[in-house]
Amino acid sequence: MAIEPPAVRVPTHIMSSSLTGEPRPLPNAMDDPEELRTFANVRLIAFDLDGTLIGHQSPILGARLADLFSTVSRSQVAVTLATGRTLTGVRAILGQMAELNRVPLVLYNGSVVMRPDHQALIAHSAISRASVEQTLSIGASCADGALFVYTIDTDASLIGGAAQTEAVHFSGKDQAPATDFNGMAVLPLSQLNLDTAKVVAILFEVTDPALRESALGFLMQIPGISATSSGGRYIEIRPSGSSKAVGLRYLTDHMGIQAHQVLAMGDNDNDVELLRWAGISVCVDRASPAAQRASKFISSHGAGEAAIDVLEIVRRARRLFRGDRRNAENATSIVRGNFEPQD
């Protein structure tokens, strides 16, 4: 999937101090309604999951957020996820939000694009065997490290509600956990065939901050991968050239949507490319410094509540400017677009 995110032409009325690294506050009910006009033109909203839609300790959406999701999705706006999680890892959210099943999701930080209801892999990007082996070597030399290697089977389908397209293999000095943080069953690395495996992501767990920083430095020298620390004890590794922005650009090309009609929301370093690319970018309160610098707007709330802010603003803006024919595109064609599986 060789797609390069384009430079974004930002309409002058949403330019903000984010150009100097300081996002402006989201508009509120007391602001001039004209501040909302650009939000009325949104046709696609892409949410990061952990730390944005949900708190790191909560696996599900709040009732108010789930209700707003449904309301906005019915008002000619498509909603999707752009997350580092696997398909298995977003299953609880899909159970709450049926609308998400009908729109392709950007998973594995952009390495995989998949539409759940079609049970079809749309696009993917894989790490080369040489880069995987170098990453495993660094992991083996780290006394405090453990690696979770994620693969997909492009010939498999989702059977009986289980994501058979996905697998995760473990390498570490400690005993492998039964499941990873997505809820996927963890397999030993010895069962991974690097000759045939399509490795789409690697999660490097290092609890010691100094060792994690050192490991990140070594990983950034490996060709063919991109490594970011997204907070906590993890380093997220994906194929170079893939990102949430690239995955989302694939969708917008097929949906006939332009970047200025996309609203993206995130909280951490692995959201930076996405936030820079989208026409309207919003970060949550206390987002990472890099995410704040990449955003045009910032919410005064954290995970969950910040997403409610955004959905309320889009809903209000579309109501205020419903006479603008630029907002009259039929979202049914967005949701039911022709997304065919890859060969």
Exposed, middle or buried: residue 29 (CB in 10 Å: 0-12, 13-18, 19+)?
A: exposed
Out of 93-102, 154-163, 221-230, 291-300, which region has the weakest mean confidence (pLDDT)?
154-163
Query: Residue 1 has what pLDDT?
Result: 40
Least confidently predicted of 156-170, 248-262, 301-315: 156-170
C-alpha separations of 33 from 76, 170, 304, 321 in Å = 21, 52, 24, 9
* pLDDT-based confidence at residue 230 (cuts at 50, 70, 90): low
pLDDT at 335 over 80: no
15 vs 184 pLDDT, higher one: 184
The per-residue pLDDT for 115 is 85
Q: Please report, in angstroms and rounded to a whole number, the separation of the first and last CA atoms in the chain.
A: 13
pLDDT of residue 66: 83
Report pLDDT for 21. Answer: 67
pLDDT in tens, 12-71: 344 444 444 689 999 987 788 888 999 999 999 999 999 998 886 666 677 888 888 888
Highest mean pLDDT among 24-33, 169-178, 275-284, 322-331: 275-284
pLDDT at 309: 94
Q: Which of 226-230, 271-275, 313-317 is least confident?
A: 226-230
Q: Which helix (H) or strand (E) holds 170?
A: strand 166-172
Instruction: Express each pLDDT in 241-279 by its tens digit.
Output: 999 999 999 889 888 999 999 999 999 988 999 999 999
Average pLDDT (178-201) is: 94
Which value, in Å, is the radius of gyration of the alpha carbons in the chain? 20
Q: Which of 154, 180, 156, 153 is nearest to 168 (CA)?
A: 180
The token duo for 138 is: 């660094």
Question: What integer is the mean pLDDT of 100-118?
Answer: 89
What mean pLDDT do residues 107-111 have?
Answer: 94
Residue 164 has pLDDT above 80, yes or no: no
Q: Where do runs of H (alpha helix) occur along the chain? A: 37-40, 63-73, 91-96, 129-141, 209-219, 244-255, 272-277, 289-294, 305-320, 331-335
- Could you give the CA distance from residue 292 to residue 272 in angstroms, rounded to a whole number? 9
